[in-house]
Amino acid sequence: MRHQISHLRERRQGMPPIPEKLDSLLTSAQRQGLDQAVSFGWELAFVRHAQFQELATVVVTRDQGRTYATITADGELEFSPDLLIRH
């Protein structure tokens, strides 16, 4: 899992980390996977939709360890996402 702290300038340009129309972006399986992850103590951290890339729905544990995972298009948790996490 690639968790790198980066102090890059913010690139969302005023966009919230979680889009207002989240349900319209997620597949049915992703919505179910997110609901299930939340029921097990995960929370939605952000949604990244980079140009020419698949939507990345990122969840995080609520504990101090801050473990990140993504929800795949078929609703499964991917515990080794290839993400650059900026704080």
CB crowding 14-42: b at 16 or more within 10 Å, else e? eeeeeeeeeeeebeeebbebbeebeeeeb
Interval 3-25: pLDDT, tens? 333 333 445 566 677 888 888 88
Interval 50-83: pLDDT, tens? 777 788 899 999 877 788 899 998 999 998 777 6
Q: What is the pLDDT of residue 13?
A: 61
The CA distance from 50 to 67, in Å, is 22
> 56-61 and 42-48 as β-strands: parallel, antiparallel, unpaired?
antiparallel
* Domain residue ranges in the chain: 1-87
How many residues are given for the chain?
87
Coil vs helix vs strand at 25: helix
Q: Which two tokens stand for residue 73?
A: 């298009």
Q: What is the pLDDT of residue 74?
A: 92
- Whole-model pTM: value is 0.72
| Residue 53 near residue 41 (C-beta atoms within 8 A) | no
